[in-house]
């Protein structure tokens, strides 16, 4: 498991399975870590049984030489610890993580993650698809992300004079007011998914918004129509 450039998936719950389903269809070599041996019954990919925030397990999974690490654990404390250890073991790897709570996003970034998403099932597909389109730290968000349980991802252009122009994520507070989330901003030819409360939206940006059908409709009615 020490071959250069493989991927490591920590956690084989809903998000981890979503990631593996996509990675299995491509030319990726990956290993999955989960503490529950029962989840690996009848699977045919490399896996390890153990705690994804345990340094010895991470070393055995080959984090030191991994090109990407997906942290899809169910507890944000473990997500933070796993991210810290992975970053320490491999400063050059790209770490993408799932936050179980919005409140943990900043802490996970500070622990060393490159990309964090707070929506569980969608996060798995978004992060896995994003991997295939990354060049360095810049990534392209695909149009064809498959969605679950009425969740949508839509891209919208921010026009000049829009209410959204020059607004920060914190001032918009979309998660509290509507429930949807801005997960990516395309500015020029660069897409960033490292969205924090201080991130500002500018006229001309293409924003990727995720939420339920109802939330997306309310977002468009309030801010785009």
**pLDDT tens digits, 84-142:** 999 999 998 888 888 887 778 888 989 998 877 765 444 555 555 555 554 444 444 44
Query: What angle, rounded to 10 degrees, do the helices at 120-131 and 14-23 form?
Result: 30
**pLDDT tens digits, 155-185:** 889 999 999 999 999 999 988 888 888 877 8
CB 134 within 8 A of CB 141: no
Q: Give the model's confidence band at 1: pLDDT under 50 very low, under 70 low, under 90 confident, else very high.
A: very low
Q: Once rounded to an integer, what is the mean pLDDT over residues 210-221?
A: 84
* Ranges 19-23, 91-95, 192-196, 197-201: which has the least confidence: 192-196
Q: Once rounded to an integer, what is the mean pLDDT over residues 151-158?
A: 78
Closest CA to 191 of 113, 111, 130: 130
What pLDDT is stored for residue 197 in this prediction? 83
Give the residue, 117 or 75, on which the prediction is more confident.
75
CB 130 within 8 A of CB 193: yes
**pLDDT tens digits, 54-71:** 999 999 999 999 888 999
Residue 159: count other Cβ atoms within 10 Å of its Cβ.
12
What pLDDT is stored for residue 165 in this prediction? 94
Q: Give the model's confidence band at 146: pLDDT under 50 very low, under 70 low, under 90 confident, else very high.
A: very low
CA angle, 7 then 12 then 18, to 5°: 75
The burial of 51, by beta-carbon neighbours within 10 Å (0-12 exposed, 13-18 middle, 19 or more buried), is given as middle
What pLDDT is stored for residue 63 in this prediction? 94
CB 70 within 8 A of CB 127: yes
CA angle, 17 then 108 then 14, to 5°: 15
The H or E element that residue 20 is part of is: helix 14-23
d(CA 190, CA 33): 32
**pLDDT tens digits, 8-33:** 999 998 788 888 887 887 677 899 99
Give the residue, 191 or 2, on which the prediction is more confident.
191
């Amino acid at each position: 498991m020490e071959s250069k450039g493989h991927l490591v998936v920590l956690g084989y719950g809903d998000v981890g399975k979503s990631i593996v389903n996509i990675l299995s269809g491509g030319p990726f070599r990956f290993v999955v870590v989960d503490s529950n041996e029962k989840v690996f019954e009848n699977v045919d990919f490399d896996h390890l049984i153990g705690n994804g925030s345990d340094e010895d397990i991470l070393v055995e999974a080959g984090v030191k030489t991994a090109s990407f690490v997906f942290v899809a654990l169910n507890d944000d404390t473990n997500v933070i610890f796993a991210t810290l250890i992975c970053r320490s073991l491999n400063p050059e790897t790209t770490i993408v993580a799932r936050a179980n709570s919005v409140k943990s996003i900043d802490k996970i970034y500070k622990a060393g993650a490159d990309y964090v998403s707070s929506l569980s099932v969608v996060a798995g597909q978004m992060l896995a698809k994003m991997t295939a389109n990354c060049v360095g730290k810049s990534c392209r968000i695909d149009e064809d992300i498959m969605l679950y349980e009425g969740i949508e991802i839509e891209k919208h252009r921010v026009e000049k004079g829009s209410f959204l122009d020059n607004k920060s994520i914190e001032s918009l507070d979309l998660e509290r007011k509507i429930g949807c989330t801005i997960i990516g901003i395309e500015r020029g030819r660069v897409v960033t998914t490292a969205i924090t409360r201080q991130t500002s939206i500018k006229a001309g940006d293409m924003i990727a918004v995720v939420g339920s059908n109802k939330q997306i409709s309310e977002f468009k009615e309030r801010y785009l129509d």
